[in-house]
Amino acid sequence: MRLDVVTLFPDWFAWFVTQRHVANALAAGHELRTLDLREHTPLSGGQVDDTPFGGGAGMVLRVDVMDAALRAHYGVDPVDLRMQRRVVALTPGGRLLDDRLVDELAREPEITLLCGRYEGFDERIVEHFASDAISIGEYVLAGGELAAMVVCDAVMRKLPGALGHSESVREESFSVALEGRPEYPHYTRPAEFRGWRVPDVLLSGHHEEIRAWRLERSRERGATGGG
Ligand code: 6GU
């Protein structure tokens, strides 16, 4: 998979790509690139944003700046780009990210993530350049970068080669294998700590009983919405 992130803060991703599963995915041939929005701005002084029409606080990322960045990078009219690949605008008003959407994105060969800053995007960016708008939760971040990292993290760990165990992706919280429910609890050594014992069944070596126990715990968590 090729993931491109269009951002005003490409440096932030230098740290992100050192994360083990991200580094593994990159070593396995997947790509994560950043495109600097400021690099191709047609405005003087590296300007990328402007005050909102109609008044109000904050600054809005300009549509002509996004147009120039996408055009310079992909060599096509950005209006056509979203017919060739998923172009995702990260915005609090978008579709809420969940495991189903992550799976959907992980199957794409190429994705471009657009990060807004300040008060966000000129709406024409979302309307004309993006194929999707995605939000990572019902709260407002100062920009789309952290949301883009959340999307990249969740997507890249699903890619072949990202995790040591392919099973850890198959049977995890919210997965089809767990019928969309939260994961069962995990334990490791010591088997007893301050009198808190690990459930006996997990130490029993009875794989069938362990499987049944885990499914049951997952179901309980799903019923209470906890986990
Ligand atoms: Cl994708 N962007 C911003 N700025 N805030 C958010 C968000 C995205 N998702 C939740 N809050």
pLDDT in tens, 75-84: 999 999 999 9
pLDDT in tens, 142-167: 899 999 999 999 999 999 878 766 66
What residue ranges in 37-116 does DSSP mark as E strands? 49-50, 60-61, 86-96, 110-115
pTM for the whole thing? 0.90
Nearest-Å Rg of the Cα atoms of the chain is 21
Confidence bin at 119 (pLDDT 50/70/90): confident
Query: Which ligand 1 atom minimizes the distance to the CA of 90?
Result: 1
**CATH 1.10.1270.20 domain position(s) in the chain:** 170-226
State mean pLDDT over 83-98: 96
The residue to mutate among 88, 97, 136, 146, having the most atoms of ligand 1 within 8 angstroms of its beta carbon, is 136
The residue to mutate among 6, 61, 98, 141, having the most atoms of ligand 1 within 8 angstroms of its beta carbon, is 141
Q: List, in order, residues 6 or more apart from 125 with CB less than 8 Å away.
A: 61, 63, 66, 89, 114, 116
Task: Give the H/E segment covering residue 169.
Answer: helix 167-170
Cα(140) to centroid(ligand 1), Å: 5
Topology at the third CATH level for domain 2-156: Alpha/beta knot (3.40.1280)
Query: Which ligand 1 atom minimizes the distance to the CA of 134?
Result: 1
DSSP secondary structure code for residue 192 in this structure: E
Strands 2-7 and 110-115, bridge-based pairing? parallel
Topology at the third CATH level for domain 170-226: Trp Operon Repressor; Chain A (1.10.1270)
Confidence bin at 225 (pLDDT 50/70/90): very low
What one-character-per-residue DSSP string does 86-102 give?
EEEEEEEEEEEP-HHHH
**CATH 3.40.1280.10 domain position(s) in the chain:** 2-156
